[in-house]
C-alpha cells in the first residue's frame, strides 16, 4: 500500500523557517517525480514545487521562489521542503504527492498544517 | 502563464442528476488536464488524467472530455457520496509547474 506521511508543520512567526518532511513507502520512491501542494484554510489547491527523480530538476511557483527549497533523499525514501522567510500567506496545509507518468498527482499524503502568525 | 477557470464555482443538484463541470484554459493545452475530487475534510483524489482517462478504481459514472482550451467533467448520475469540491489541473508535456482551477463545490439539493 502506498503511503506518504508528512511531518514538520506547526506554528511559526513571520520571517521564520520550517522544514517539512514526507516519508514514502509502498512504491519505488526513486522512480517518481514528487510534488508539494498546499491549501490555505477554506481555499483551493495551489501547487508549490516539483522535483525530478534524481533531484536534478526542480520547479517552484513564483510566490515561493528564493524562499522555499524542495529536496529528496532517495536512500531514505524521503521528500523535504525547506521553507524560509515565511509569511502569513504561506499558512496552509501542505501535502506531498507523487506524480504519475505524466504530470498528474496520483498519491497524496494526509497533509501537515503550517501556521505563520505572531 | 496559462490560467485555468472552472465554472460554476458551486452547484446543487438532486441525486440521479447528470452534473457537468467546465474547465477552460487561457491557452491551448492539448489534453494535458487532470481532475481531482476532494471530499470535505479529506485529501484530494485523482479521478481523471489526460483529459479523459479514468484513474483505476474510480466509478464509471465519472467521465472527462475535451481538448485544447475547453474541458468537462461529467457525473452521469449524482450520488450522495459525490458531495465534494472538484478541481481541474493543467500540466505540461515536459515537467514544469502545475496549475489548478479554482474548484467547483458540488452539493445535493
Put simply, the answer to whether B95 touches A100 (Cβ < 8 Å) is no
Put simply, the answer to whether B100 touches A109 (Cβ < 8 Å) is no
Nearest to A104 among B34, B85, B96 (CB): B34
Mean pLDDT of chain B: 95
B44 neighbourhood in chain A, CB within 8 Å: 37, 45, 95, 105, 108
Q: Let me know: does A32 contact A84? Beta carbons within 8 Å.
A: no
pLDDT in tens, B71-94: 999 999 999 999 999 999 998 766
Put simply, the answer to whether A102 touches B91 (Cβ < 8 Å) is yes
Q: What percent of chain A has pLDDT over 90?
A: 97
Q: Which residues contact B40 (CB under 8 A, 6 or more apart)?
A: B83, B84
What pLDDT is stored for residue A88 in this prediction? 98
Interface residues of chain A, partner chain B, Cβ below 8 Å: 33, 35, 37, 44-47, 50, 52, 57, 59-61, 95, 99-100, 102-106, 108-111
DSSP states along B11-28: EEE-TT--EEEEEEESS-
Instruction: Give the residue-averaged pLDDT of B7-28.
Output: 97
What pLDDT is stored for residue B96 in this prediction? 77
Residue of B nearest to A34 (CA): B95
Nearest to A59 among B89, B96, B102 (CB): B96
Q: Which residues contact B67 (CB under 8 A, 6 or more apart)?
A: B30, B31, B51
Mean pLDDT of chain A: 97
> Per-residue pLDDT for B12 more than 90?
yes
Size of interface A-B (CB pairs under 8 A): 70
Instruction: Please give the sequence-ordered ranges of beta strands (E in DSSP) within chain B, or none if there are none.
Output: 4-7, 10-13, 19-25, 33-38, 45-49, 53-54, 62-67, 70-75, 84-90, 99-100, 104-108
B78: nearest Cα among B12, B10, B17, B9: B17
Q: How far is CA A103 from CA A16, A106, B89, B101, in A?
A: 31, 9, 9, 15
Q: How far is B11 from chain A (nearest CA, A)?
A: 16
CA atoms within 13 A on the CB side of B12: 2
Amino acid at each position: 500500500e502506498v503511503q506518504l506521511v508528512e511531518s514538520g508543520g506547526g506554528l511559526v512567526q513571520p520571517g521564520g523557517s520550517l522544514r517539512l518532511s514526507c516519508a514514502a513507502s509502498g512504491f519505488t520512491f526513486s522512480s517518481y517525480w514528487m510534488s508539494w501542494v498546499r491549501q490555505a484554510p477554506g481555499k483551493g489547491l495551489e501547487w508549490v514545487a516539483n522535483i525530478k527523480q534524481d533531484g536534478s530538476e526542480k520547479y517552484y511557483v513564483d510566490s515561493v521562489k528564493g524562499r522555499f527549497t524542495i529536496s529528496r533523499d532517495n536512500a531514505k525514501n524521503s521528500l523535504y521542503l525547506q521553507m524560509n522567510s515565511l509569511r502569513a500567506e504561506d499558512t496552509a496545509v501542505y501535502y506531498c504527492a507523487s506524480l504519475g507518468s505524466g504530470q498528474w498527482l496520483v498519491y497524496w499524503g494526509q497533509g501537515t498544517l503550517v501556521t505563520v502568525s505572531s | 502563464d496559462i490560467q485555468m477557470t472552472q465554472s460554476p464555482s458551486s452547484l446543487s443538484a438532486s441525486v440521479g442528476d447528470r452534473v457537468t463541470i467546465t474547465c477552460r484554459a487561457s491557452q491551448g493545452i492539448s489534453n494535458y488536464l487532470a481532475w481531482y475530487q476532494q471530499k470535505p475534510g479529506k485529501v484530494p483524489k485523482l479521478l481523471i488524467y489526460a483529459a479523459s482517462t479514468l484513474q483505476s478504481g474510480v466509478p464509471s459514472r465519472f467521465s472527462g472530455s475535451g481538448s485544447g482550451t475547453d474541458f468537462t467533467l461529467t457525473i452521469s448520475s449524482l450520488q450522495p457520496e459525490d458531495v465534494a469540491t472538484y478541481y481541474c489541473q493543467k500540466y505540461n508535456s515536459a515537467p514544469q509547474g502545475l496549475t489548478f482551477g479554482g474548484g467547483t463545490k458540488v452539493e445535493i439539493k
